[in-house]
A and B are shown apart, each in its own frame.
Chain A
């Protein structure tokens, strides 16, 4: 059995040779994807940081781990994703926190529940899922599931390098020119510049200036233009797929939004996430017969860091063992008796295919 028949996609650490792929995804990113600006020097630097992060034994929290999703049939990189070990490392990570305040006037017989946005640093130092990009041709396959969820098992496997809570920003509503209704109603008032300009300013630099320019008092949502109110917690179309995966993982999406575009910032304790809570450390055995067609899909990672590998396979769990075919064992760099961390997936994607 060839690897293509058993597992088509492999998630691995980005290598130096993946820079062109990073550039390709950055160039295709719409305005608003701040973690991957189309800047070769920036991307090369980020790639170097990632390479070092996987290697170093001296994790400080400033590590960034970038992963490449490889189509084992075409050998092409069809997606990238990443993890920042600590959001806002050496600085503050800003979000707006949704809060509802209740005002009441007994004489008037009126009680109102008012939606407010509070500038906060709550998510500083949590781990952060970043840079999810998938080739559009693979959107309707299982590839994005591997690209997104395998990161969670990587965090669980190397928990000492990460916080016990993890978050992810999702791009909010903006048009093709970068016009963003939430920004226009809120950020522009304080920054005096358009969203793409701020994005260039903030990309890769300290965001401490945000606190200097944004009001410390809450923003009362009913006072914002309707277009901006509507944009709160709404997604850019490009973010719908990764967001849906995170929601399926039981991330909380109601508490925080991005201070720039109002997109949802999801967060949760890592242990509470579906794949992480389901994952078990299993011994691997080499299977000689083909897996049954109705065998469950398993998200499987090896326990390595520098040689990290993750795949999706249909394989049954037998007690404390997982039976993998030889090709998959090879892709994961495993031998019989090695351990893997595996979580059964129950995703149902209409029309999804390998």
Chain B
């Protein structure tokens, strides 16, 4: 099983990121030195950190505080007429900014050309867990930014038809914005959703009035994203009451305290041992650096023990205080 290094992207990584992310995502990405609220985390094999990254995930803190972000809230309205014995519970969609201030995990990608399905799944878990670990570490070490919401979200891709179109959009949003979604996304990036929200209904929509295809797409996660869904669920995130404006995909969410892989986040001393080869895995993060390593290791009440070979790649000396976690593996 591979060991992994995850670090913040820098400008030198841009050429190699084209295989992972669309141009608009790269143009929107900032780097750790530029913006502490926006971090693109790249995954490399620990033994060959100079190859192009095999996966990435983006952490965006305190979203929506400069440009409004929108989601549909899936709620319910009860219509009852007692004298007729009628009682109906109607699902509704309401456009809103409920997750404003939350931290978002986004731009998740794995290079499927270089990793087969069996290799993708563990890397997916590592990416999610590493991102959440950094969030938890920073939450322990520094106060939250003004306006930040103690919530982590991740919007999962929703249902698509055979032609790649989103039935949710075709039966809902298209009536309000007839333009080309892909072209608009390429031009405006994630801001496209902000712009298009101005065209969408401001009043609650009763779901039962929508076309059956749109109803069926609400909260659906695309099958290709099953590994990501599993990784998020493994770490304690769950589908909440919000869906994406475009494809109706579920928005997973969790309060940071409910994130399983972060709850046992421990402050330990690095214990480097020659010839050490434990069967367990640990996530290790330095105190301030935007980097996480997923290596063979073992924790006890005082230290996290790893092999000397792994420690060479971490470039951390024996006795260095680090953050570690092993609950996700």
Contact = CB atoms under 8 A, between A and B. Distances in A.
A108 B208 contact: no
B203 A218 contact: yes
Contact of B188 (A107, A110, A218, A220): A107
A159 interface: no
Nearest to A191: B86
A215 interface: yes
Nearest to A206: B83
A224 B201 CA distance: 14
Interface in A97-153: 103-105, 107-108, 110, 112, 114
Given A215-B79, A220-B201, A185 B209 contact: yes
B77 A215 contact: yes
A135 B217 CA distance: 52
B179 interface: yes
Interface in A201-248: 201, 209, 212-215, 217-220, 222-225
B84 A209 contact: yes
A297 B188 CA distance: 68
B1 to A, nearest CB: 47
B206 A189 contact: yes
A306 to B, nearest CB: 37
Given A190-B79, A209-B84, A213-B79, A108 B184 contact: yes
Nearest to B209: A189
Nearest to A188: B208
Contacts of B84: 201, 209
Contacts of A192: 86, 88
A209 B81 contact: yes
B302 interface: no
A275 to B, nearest CB: 40
Interface in B133-182: 171-172, 175-177, 179
A282 interface: no
A186 interface: yes
A103 B179 contact: no
A104 B210 CA distance: 23
A254 to B, nearest CB: 22
B200 to A, nearest CB: 7
Residue of A105, A112, A186, A213 ringed by the most chain B CB atoms within 10 A: A105
Interface residues of B, number: 34
Contacts of A220: 175, 201, 205
B265 interface: no
B204 interface: yes
A337 B80 CA distance: 60
A343 to B, nearest CB: 44
Contacts of A215: 77, 79, 90, 204, 206
Contact of A103 (B79, B172, B176, B188): B176
A223 B210 contact: yes
B88 A108 contact: no
A107 B80 CA distance: 42
B177 A213 contact: no
B211 interface: yes
A94 to B, nearest CB: 13
Contacts of A189: 90, 206, 208-209
Nearest to A224: B209
B36 interface: no
A219 B88 CA distance: 18
A8 to B, nearest CB: 47
Contact of A223 (B175, B188, B204): B175
Given A103-B199, A110-B199, A220-B201, A186 B81 contact: no
Interface in A59-74: none
B109 interface: no
B196 interface: yes
A130 to B, nearest CB: 24
A212 B200 CA distance: 26
Nearest to B204: A217
Contacts of A212: 79-81, 86
A213 B199 CA distance: 28
Contacts of B203: 217-218
B238 interface: no
Contact of B200 (A103, A201, A225): A103
20 contacts: A103-B200, A104-B199, A105-B177, A105-B195, A107-B188, A107-B191, A189-B90, A192-B88, A209-B83, A209-B84, A212-B80, A212-B86, A215-B79, A217-B92, A217-B203, A217-B205, A217-B206, A223-B172, A223-B205, A223-B210
Given A103-B199, A110-B199, A185-B209, 5 more contacts: A108-B196, A186-B209, A212-B86, A215-B77, A217-B203
Interface of B: 77, 79-81, 83-84, 86, 88, 90, 92, 171-172, 175-177, 179, 184, 188, 191-192, 195-196, 198-201, 203-206, 208-211
The 4 closest A-B pairs by CB, nearest first: A222-B175, A209-B81, A217-B203, A212-B81
